[in-house]
Amino acid sequence: MAFHRCRNGGDSLVPALEALAGRSVSTHQQVRSLQELQRLEQQLLYGCRLANVQQVVSQTDDLPGLCRQFLPLEQCNRLLCLPVQWQESCRQVTVLLAAGRDDKRRQDVEIMVRQQGAVAVFQLVLEAELQEVLARLQLQDQTMDIHPLPSSEPGDTDEQNRAEATDLAVTGAAADTSPAVAMADKILMQALSQGASDIHVEPQEDELVVRLRQDGVLQKTYSGLPKQVIPAVTSRFKIMADLDIAERRLPQDGRIRRRFHGRTVDFRVSSLPSRYGEKICLRLLDHSTVQLGLDQLITNEVVRTSIQEMGTRPHGMVLVTGPTGSGKSTTLYALLSLMNQPGVNISTVEDPVEYTLSGITQTQVNREKGLDFAMVLRAFMRQDPDVLLVGETRDRETAKIAIEAALTGHLVLTTLHCNDAPSAIVRLQEMGVEPFLVAASLLGVVSQRLLRRVCPACAVAYCPRPEDLARVGLLTSGDTELRFYRACVGTPGALGCNQCGGSGYRGRVGVYEVLPVGEEIAAAVARGVTTDQLRRMAVAAGMTTLLGYGLELVLQGITSLEEVERVLLTDVGLATERRARALSFLSCPQCGAGLRDQWLECPYCLQQRPT
């Protein structure tokens, strides 16, 4: 009757209730009455009955369990929904949905439930009542997080506990797993089993293609998957990475942590809108890699000693250069592990944090909140650090702050994108850093690449032809016979070597070029010399170039001449074309490279012809 009086008489609800009851109405009763009025209005608007959230929830035994199984609590808050009942016989889950939600959100809920092999049945409820229950569940979840379980590994404890409870080997073998979940787990397990570094899930016009990058080369692993599975598989990866599955027009970045055969593995996830769907790229970050020391990464003792000496200096800046995926972060963390002592304060800022190392402070940038490299570096300077690691120096402001830190008693390690070690110094100057600041702060530059190792089980020995040696600038005398190894590549469809799967390569090895900045190099940098002049001075001082290091690995039988040509020969530029046209060759007295008979300057070590 109070509702009827409000409708006909124009009075508000509270006076109408008090008039009928003959007394004042409590606040709790007022709220409940307002909710009932809203429920009636919504029922009239949508032409259906709205469920009472409190009554439905009171009949549910395990709300957190249903959320973990079908709809994570974060997605429930975003979509304003809540799974409340599960019927195993017909694989049907009842989901409460706030009235007034658009069809797009309803479709998102249906997709997420369908990926778990179930069908969603909706009941409309009042949004205010649903938000009240969701807030209570969120509070319970946060209260549980206050008492974390003990963990044997560093990092976010709650995240690791969830990862330890989710082993891919167990979930992938579950019989009741939905097809999309099973496919996603199978892709992750195969990548981990084969030692891949990246996973590319690429929607095409008529199919879904999955490629794995093994030893730096992409290989097609799954093809011919029907295009109908594209939305389900891509959405599954986005759910695992806690991304917004409703956002399909903008790129997103996330992270997945899982356990696999007793070890914790992180996947850095990136989604990119494309013509036929969202491409998902996952980079594997194995925490066991950070345990590698420099002695396991660098085969050349002189180069390894030079890098270790840079890490023992009390202040200054060390640059590590190379393209994406060349192992820069692995080298830096191997260097950090040498310095990680109880008396050393180490802080890192990265985008994102790739490895976890106990005993150091790691910060991830958040550009949406304005937390960039420069801001974190300024904050670090107030934290009394000894060693700073900057994930990437990409702008003038970050470079200036890093150099200022190096000049004021801190050791700074950072990365830079350029082709080789000498060009990194000029790259800093192009960013707007004064040459005298670079000369005063820089300890050295490390440039690196990764070459595939020849499989020792099936490698084929051969004697290279003179023209093969000429392509890389080598020359052998008639009395000396070189013995190289070539990868034995199996024919398509054949089983091939059981160690490398017929690819001829197994694992990768680093190739390094180290430029220590001594007094002579520092004086040249302060003068603003060119890259070619710096390279000439560095080689004269004993620097081994990337190509020279790669040829050493060929002579040792670790890699092949073809692999050196594929990865490193592009760095010498026009000098390759000059050598290919040479008719006769001489040997450079500095580095032994094959040269034309009328040579003026060696294109490798820049040694001038004696007068």
Q: pLDDT of 151-203, one tens digit each?
A: 333 344 444 444 444 567 665 555 456 778 888 988 999 998 888 889 999 99
Q: What is the pLDDT of residues 98-111, one digit of tens each?
A: 877 566 788 888 88
Q: What is the pLDDT of residues 367-386, one digit of tens each?
A: 778 888 889 998 998 888 99
CATH number at residue 542: 3.40.50.300
pTM, two decimal places: 0.65
Question: Which residues, at least 6 apart from 155, have a Cβ–Cβ distance to it below 8 Å?
Answer: 356
Query: Mean pLDDT across the stretch 565-581?
Result: 53
**What is the span of the domain harbouring residue 102?**
48-139
Residue 219's SS3 state is strand
| 540/406 same-domain check | yes
Question: Which residues, at least 6 apart from 496, have a Cβ–Cβ distance to it below 8 Å?
Answer: 458, 490, 502, 503
Q: Which position has the higher pLDDT, 116 or 156?
A: 116
Q: Give the pLDDT score at 476.
A: 58
Residue 117 pLDDT level (bands cut at 50, 70, 90)? confident
Mark residue 463 as left, alpha or beta (left: phi above 0; alpha: psi -120 to 50; beta: remaining).
beta
Question: Which residues, at least 6 apart from 62, have a Cβ–Cβ distance to it below 8 Å?
Answer: none
| 277/298 same-domain check | no
Pairing of strands 207-214, 198-203: antiparallel
Q: Compute the CA torsion angle 511, 517, 521, 523 (nearest 10 deg).
A: 160
Burial of 154 per CB tally in 10 Å (0-12, 13-18, 19+): middle
Rounded Cα distance, 531 and 4, in Å:
87
Query: Of 111-115, 116-120, 283-287, which gets the smallest average pLDDT?
Result: 283-287
| 303/370 same-domain check | yes
| 192/326 same-domain check | no
Rounded Cα distance, 522 and 540, in Å:
15
Q: For residue 17, how many C-alpha atoms fall within 13 Å in the half-sphere facing its CB?
A: 16
Task: Using the 3D structure, point to which of 139, 159, 182 is the last residue of a domain.
Answer: 139
Does residue 491 sit within a domain? no
Does residue 129 sit within a domain? yes
Task: Using the 3D structure, point to which of 546, 571, 606 is the last residue of a domain.
Answer: 546
Query: Mean pLDDT across the stretch 400-428?
Result: 91
Residue 571 pLDDT level (bands cut at 50, 70, 90)? very low
CATH number at residue 63: 3.30.300.160
DSSP 545: P
| 210/336 same-domain check | no
Pairing of strands 119-125, 92-98: parallel
| 268/328 same-domain check | no
Q: What are phi and psi of 397, to 5 degrees?
A: -65, -45
Residue 482's SS3 state is coil
Q: How many CB atoms lie within 10 A of CB 266?
A: 23
Q: Find out whether 260 and 286 touch, Cβ atoms under 8 Å.
A: no
| 299/279 same-domain check | no
Percent helix / strand / coil, the chain, rounded to 5:
40, 25, 35
Q: Which one, of 10, 37, 33, 14, lies nearest residue 24 by Cα?
A: 14
| 339/442 same-domain check | yes
DSSP 371: B
Does residue 350 sit within a domain? yes
SS (H, E, C) 483-521: CEEECCCCCCCCCCCCCCCCCCEEEEEEEEEEEECCHHH
Rounded Cα distance, 117 and 395, in Å:
48
Q: Which position has the higher pLDDT, 478 or 449?
A: 449
Rounded Cα distance, 429 and 477, in Å:
44
Does residue 368 sit within a domain? yes
Q: What is the pLDDT of residues 20-37, one digit of tens each?
A: 555 665 554 555 555 566
| 281/307 same-domain check | no
Query: Of 159-163, 246-250, 348-352, 491-495, which gets the smallest average pLDDT?
Result: 159-163
Does residue 303 sit within a domain? yes
- The beta strands (E) that lie in 74-163 are given as 81-87, 92-98, 119-125
Pairing of strands 411-416, 387-390: parallel
Mark 587-603 as b/e (b = at least 16 C-beta within 10 Å).
Answer: bbeebbbbbeeebeebb
Q: How many CB atoms lie within 10 A of CB 241?
A: 20
Task: Using the 3D structure, point to which of 99, 121, 139 is the last residue of a domain.
Answer: 139
Q: Give the pLDDT score at 159.
A: 44
Q: Which position has the higher pLDDT, 12 or 354?
A: 354
| 236/338 same-domain check | no
Does residue 473 sit within a domain? no
Rounded Cα distance, 536 and 545, in Å:
11
Q: What is the pLDDT of residues 18-77, one digit of tens each?
A: 565 556 655 545 555 555 666 565 555 554 567 888 888 888 877 888 888 888 887 888
| 325/398 same-domain check | yes
Rounded Cα distance, 437 and 423, in Å:
16
Q: Give the pLDDT score at 361.
A: 92
Does residue 208 sit within a domain? yes
Query: Mean pLDDT across the stretch 502-509?
Result: 86
Does residue 555 sit within a domain? no
Residue 240's SS3 state is helix
| 209/311 same-domain check | no
How many domains in the chain?
Answer: 3
Rounded Cα distance, 348 and 573, in Å:
36
Q: Find out whether 585 and 596 touch, Cβ atoms under 8 Å.
A: yes
